[in-house]
Amino acid sequence: MLIINGTAELMHDNSKLASGSRHEFNMFSKEMPFEQQLTQIEEYLMCRGWDNIEILSNGIINDVKDITHTVLQQAYDKAECEGFAVTINNQALN
């Protein structure tokens, strides 16, 4: 499973976050390699209201047991079923 870490800007207000705020995200992609997933990653995030995406790092996780955070474990499981999953840090960077 591919894991991607980066930041993105929220394009529209929602019930919890303000438009224009920048947040860190973690994303899981069932498909690899990373370079071949860039377009799909961008589309996935943009469909959910995020733009100005900056990828900070990426890597591979071979087993969900390597993840110790419950929310990230749930995102990993979701990506196993749906192909992609993303978690957004609720605390804005700016």
pLDDT of residue 32: 84
Sign of CA pseudo-dihedral 31, 14, 49, 5: negative
pLDDT of residue 18: 87
pTM here?
Answer: 0.87
pLDDT of residue 2: 94
Look up residue 80 and give its DSSP letter.
Answer: H
pLDDT of residue 25: 96
- Count of beta carbons in the 10 Å neighbourhood of residue 27: 24
pLDDT of residue 94: 66
Domain 2-88 fold:
NE1680-like fold (3.10.510)
Q: Show me where the domains of the chain are located.
A: 2-88
For the chain, 94 residues long, give each residue's pLDDT as a single digit of tens.
Answer: 999 999 999 998 788 888 999 999 999 999 888 888 889 999 999 999 999 999 999 999 988 888 999 999 999 999 999 999 999 999 999 6
